[in-house]
Structure 1
Amino acid sequence: MQAILDAIMGGDLAKVGEVPVPDSYRGVVVRADEAHIFDGLTTRERDPRKTLHVQEVPTPALGPGEALIAVMASAINYNTVWTSIFEPVPAFRFLERYGRLSPLTRRHDLPYHVVGSDAAGVVLRVGGGVSRWRPGDEVVAHCLCVELEDAAGHDDTMLDPQQRIWGFETNFGGLAELAIVKTNQLMPKPAHLSWEESASPGLVNSTAYRQLVSRHGAQLKQGDVVLIWGASGGLGSYATQLALNGGATPVCVVSSARKARLCRQLGAELVIDRAAEGFTFWKDERTQDETEWRRFGARVRELTGGDDPDIVFEHPGRDTFGVSVYVTRRGGTVVTCASTTGYLHQYDNRYLWMNLKRIIGSHFANYREAWEANRLIAGGRIHPTLSKTYPLEQTGVAAWEVHRNAHQGKVGVLCLAPGEGFGIRDTELRERHVNQINRFRGE
């Protein structure tokens, strides 16, 4: 492993393919024999620090159409938190199902699960049939894993019946020194960013791009008013940037003055601090408060000069879905990609059907959407929102921060990279955007 790192750090990437691949590597894993460790505990009480272990694992054999990459840095996503607390189900069920698909996928069905759905690194080896990528290429990996053996996936790969999220529903993920990916997950690493900065946007930026911009999502256009929940978080911070970059007006909803300040640093002018303004959308566990819906809608119109949102960017789920449907303008769109506060949504359907509103379900992104989202990063149009990084050994702590919502933007993890700030190639482009790149640092 040290020889691989030396070749990368020395800049002699042409020799990376000549360095022997080690028989094993360090990865962050959850273990099948701990899948019931949190039984009887609430979601809040479940602690990723107890279940995310750094251990040596065997290097898997490389299959056709795959690449082995040396992972310099990765990042924490909510799916890593879910995996670590075994909710809504233990991810080993996903690995077992995938393992039944073919002799090649059987490799994934193991009593340990190497997690992680983001990665920036260097290609070490490619499998048979690969022509686009070669050893030494600096890459980032998006997390869409598809087989594309079914016609349903060839119009939109997210509709492939075998669509999975790498490192969540498959093994050999990015929170490790090495990772196995399909080569159609690879994209060029943004040259002006460090390894940890490059690793942080992948999942959330691509998800926000499909959700807001793509024809499969809300198809954001210039002049749209976009209500963004959790606008300073991992997803929301990219949604806010995409809205601004596309000529829309974001209305950013956050839960503290600190988060409101971050949104304004992104360039947003309309911000609602729901904690400071006392918005509570439920009277109790079973009853939503429509008077709060109306008060919230009035506050949005006050900020926008009388306009209701054309688009509501939804991901909290249960806590906010009722008010999201209510405040969307007549003919507008609620687009949802997650349910971090609960999966069972309740809303008053009268406000949906009588006002011709739409609800769109959105999940990650296809290769084209991920590539376009990465191109915006590489061109300096959208910027990382990395706030802090942890060493691989402290991945459990990093996931705990995300689980408690104590983070801002994205939380990175250094894998093979010996520290922060390595991997920057285009210093001129970086200098033009360094303030935007560092907006979330230290938050």
Structure 2
Amino acid sequence: MKTILDTILSGTATSADYAALQIPESYRGITVHKDEQEMFAGKSTWEKDPRESLHLDDVPVPELGPGEALVAVMASAVNFNTVWSAIFEPVSTFGYLERYGRTNPIAKRHDLPYHVIGSDLAGVVLRTGPGVHTWNPGDEVVAHCLSVELESPLGHNDTMLDPEQRIWGYETNFGGLAELAIVKANQLLHKPTHLTWEEAASPGLVNSTAYRQLVSQNGAGMKQGDTVLIWGASGGLGSYATQMALNGGATPVCVVSSEDKADICRSMGAELIIDRKAEGYTFWKDEHTQDPKEWRRLGARIRELTGGDDVDIVFEHPGRETFGASVYVARKGGTIVTCASTSGYMHEYDNRFLWMNLKRIVGSHFANYREAWEANRLIQRGKIHPTLSKAYSLEQTGQAAYDVHRNLHQGKVGVLCLAPEEGLGVRDEELRAKHLTEINRFRNL
């Protein structure tokens, strides 16, 4: 592994040099163990500690299949699905691996008693399998996390509709929180040349998710002049939605939970801020009863900020805690676009405010390859910037996941895998210098 790293750090190695490298028999990766699936039984979600379930193990390098690439991972990042994997909620990921393993002989590799997790990476291609023609050893890449088979016609209009669509590193094995990773070649994108390895690794999942959810016609189809309510607007997902709204000529109404987070939104250029904690919003009277008065109060506050307008789009991801309010505050004919449900999956809302006002609820899940490519292009061109706040070592991944689980972080949390230190991997210093303030906006918050 040291030889691989030295080759990457040299900055002069050719594709032939990479192709000549010996691939080790094993590598270090962050895993969860199948025999520990019940370790948190009887504990609440809040009590489950990722530091107890995440392991740094030496695991065998899997055989490379057709259409795949073996990537040396310089850096990765923690997402909410990292937390879900670690606390075995809402279900253990080993069920996904078992089902995938039954689909074909090559997929059987994924059904193991351990799961190497992680759905982001920035690194260098080492090997490609049969049938790969676009990517070569030595290519510096980032990976999006959509894994598809595309043997069904259902996925050929929008690959997210492929019946065999999976999230790499969550519903498949050999993920990005490791020194090596296996991805399909159609997951690869060119690494933005002005970013470090850890910066380049951080946008992938959330940036692509936000792009489809907010900008794509498969999501809300945001246009210039729209007003967008963004929950968690300084967080890992919301911070990209905020940037996209501003970059696309829309007006974000940023919902945050502290003045520090409000300041982050202002630094991105947002002007309309709601601090839900300072203003005391409580959308539930108790576990079973919502409070419509709080919906109305939120709606009034939005109109106060916008000069009388309701929002065209609600960018939803908290789920149960906020969904009733989200449906209420969208304008007549407006759109509530939802992905994830970090506060609970069983949403409740008053359907009168949906059907009688001709509103739409749109489900959105990650992004197809074209959407991920377009989202990455915005990063490459310096239109959208990474929101990395802190980078941990691979050995500290449990703590990084704990911070995300407990919402102790800002923006995105990165993980150095093979990269020995931060700040490496920049190829375009001139472009970087133009955007250094924006790139570092979230650092060390």
Normalising by structure 2, we get a TM-score of: 0.99
Q: What is the identity, as a one-letter code, of the residue corresponding to 2:247? A: N
State the Cα deviation string for residues 123-156 of structure 1 (Å, max 9, x = none): 0000001110000000000000000000000000
Aligned-residue offset at 1:17: 1.7
Q: Which residue does the alignment assign to 2:436?
A: 434
Give the secondary structure class of the aligned counterpart of 2:38.
coil
Q: Distance in 1 between matches of 2:111 and 2:215?
A: 36
Output aligned runs, 1:274-313, within 5 Å: 274-313=276-315
CA deviation after TM superposition for structure 1 residue 36, in Å: 0.2
SS of structure 2 residue aligned to 1:171: coil
Q: Which of 43, 59, 62 is equivalent to 1:60?
A: 62
Tell me whether 1:76 sits opposite 2:78 in the alignment: yes
Match of 2:132 among 130, 133, 136: 130
Q: 380-389 or 13-22: which moved more?
A: 13-22
Helix, strand or coil at the partner of 1:332: strand
Which of 37, 43, 46 is the equivalent residue of 2:45? 43
| CA displacement, residues 355-413 of structure 1 (integer Å, 9 cap, x when unaligned) | 00000000000000000000000000000000000000000000000000110000000
Post-superposition CA distance 1:163-201 (Å, at most 9, x none): 000000000000000000000000000000000000000
Q: What residue identity is the alignment partner of 1:5?
A: L
After superposition, where does 1:2-401 map in structure 2 within 5 Å?
Answer: 2-14=2-14, 15-401=17-403
Q: 2:419 aligns with which of 410, 417, 420?
A: 417
Q: Give the secondary structure class of the aligned counterpart of 2:205.
A: helix
Name the CA distance, whole Å, in 1 between partners of 2:267 and 2:416.
26
Residues of 1 paired with 2:89 and 2:298: CA distance?
31
How far is 1:343 from its partner?
0.3
Distance in structure 1 (CA, Å) of the matches to 2:90 and 2:296? 33
Q: Distance in 2 between matches of 1:49 and 1:195?
A: 24
Asked whether the equivalents of residues 352 and 358 of structure 1 are also in contact (C-alpha less than 8 Å), the reply is yes
The one-letter amino acid paired with 1:120 is A
> How much has 1:12 moved relative to structure 2?
2.8
CA distance in 2, matches of 1:395, 1:59: 21
Q: How far apart, in 2, do the equivalents of 1:12 and 1:115 lie?
A: 31
Structure 1 Cα separation of the partners of residues 250 and 95 of structure 2: 41
In the TM superposition, residue 13 of structure 1 has moved relative to its aligned partner by 3.2
**Runs of 4 or more consecutive aligned structure 1 residues displaced over 4 Å after TM superposition:** none
Aligned residues: CA RMSD: 0.4
Where structure 2 has 5 or more consecutive residues not aligned to the other structure, the ranges are none
Contact 1:194/1:420 (8 A) holds in 2:
yes
Counterpart Cα distance in 1 of 2:70 and 2:346: 39
State the alpha-carbon separation in 2 of the partners of residues 207 and 381 from structure 1.
Answer: 17
Task: Please give the secondary structure, in 2, of the residue aligned with 1:74.
Answer: strand
CA offset at residue 229 of structure 1? 0.1
Measured in 2, the distance between the counterparts of 1:87 and 1:331 equals 35
CA distance in 1: counterparts of 2:134 and 2:365, whole angstroms: 26
Is the Cα contact below 8 Å between 1:146 and 1:157 reproduced in 2? Answer: yes
Q: Secondary structure at the match of 1:382?
A: coil
Aligned partner letter, 1:104: I
TM-score w.r.t. the length of structure 1 is 1.00
Q: Please list the CA deviations of residues 211-241 of structure 1 after superposition, one character each: whole Å capped at 9, or x if unmatched.
A: 0000100000000000000000000000000
Separation of aligned partners in 2, 1:150 and 1:12: 43
Matched residues in 2 for 1:399 and 1:262: separation?
Answer: 22
Distance, in Å, in 2 between the alignment partners of 1:259 and 1:87 is 27
- CA apart distance, 1:16: 1.7
Distance 2:409 2:19 in 1: 37
Number of matched pairs: 443
